[in-house]
Structure 1
Amino acid sequence: MMCNVGFDWNRSKNLVGGGWVIRNERGVVVVYSRRAFSNIKSRDEARLVVILWSLESMRSHKMSNIIIAGEFLEMFGAVERPQAWPSFLHYAGQIELSMAGIVGCKLQVVTRETTEELLSLHKV
């Protein structure tokens, strides 16, 4: 199964909106959610809070063998290749801790356009 994760950050209001959608191997939506977060001061903080929330959601839904996909090149890159992304090591550590509770969890970078297209198909 795949969980596509997306976010949008409003710098002037310090708000981020996040959403995720889980599809099975046939592309059928199994479950989805969206949420807003306040007092988010940077784009990196927005990315991290949405990634951690989506991973927490996967744990609470007792998901396993799932791919978490989103436009998170730096953060997912820091998890996969820490030496290539040294300034993101703190974020990578938090993501790895959150992933530890999900058996078979993998990360995949996808473009924003792909994520938005998938989310809009089901009006998430």
Structure 2
Amino acid sequence: MLADPEGKVRLHSRIAFEVTCSKEDANFQNLLWAIQIMRHHRLERVVFACEDVALAGAVNKPMRWHAYKFQGSLVRKGLEGFKEWDLEVERGEASRGVILIVQSVPRDDRS
């Protein structure tokens, strides 16, 4: 979901990912996908939000998160080319728009 500084949803999309082995892997795949989409829409200044503290740490402070070196390096590589970017940790409940989209998938029998 892309929201403006006031929190108004400007763009959202759905994607069906393959089954992943963990929530951490799903968060990682989701962030890579979000970076791709922002690049596709030619956005140059983006603040990404994720709820995975370790993933955000691996990107923002790689020397402190050795166990996530691979994920952090791939995300940082994807972020190259943005004029400005930030990756923040945000609780899942903070984004009502995303929650509504997620709830509509099973309710509306979408895959």
Q: In the alignment, which residue of structure 1 is the partner of 2:64? A: 84
Give the alignment partner of residue 113 of structure 1, picking from 93, 96, 100: 93
1:70 aligns with 2:40: no
Identity %: 24
SS at match of 1:37: coil
SS at match of 1:76: helix
Contact 2:45 2:85 in 1 (8 A): yes
Q: In the alignment, which residue of structure 2 is the partner of 1:5? A: none
Contact 2:24 2:52 in 1 (8 A): no
- Cα-to-partner distance string for 1:32-78 (whole Å, 9 max, x where unaligned): 11211114222222111111000000000111211001202101111
Q: What TM-score do the two structures reach when normalised by structure 1?
A: 0.74
Contact 1:52 1:98 in 2 (8 A): yes
The structure whose residues are more often strand, as a share, is 1
1:96 aligns with 2:76: yes
Contact 2:9 2:97 in 1 (8 A): no
Letter in 2 for 1:64: E
- How much is the aligned-residue C-alpha RMSD, in angstroms? 1.4
Report the Cα offset of residue 119 of structure 1: 2.1
Contact 1:58 1:102 in 2 (8 A): no
1:59 aligns with 2:30: no
Letter in 2 for 1:119: V
* Paired residues, number: 101
Q: What TM-score do the two structures reach when normalised by structure 2?
A: 0.82
The runs of 4+ residues in structure 1 deviating greater than 4 Å are none
Structure 1: give runs of 5+ residues left out of the alignment: 1-20
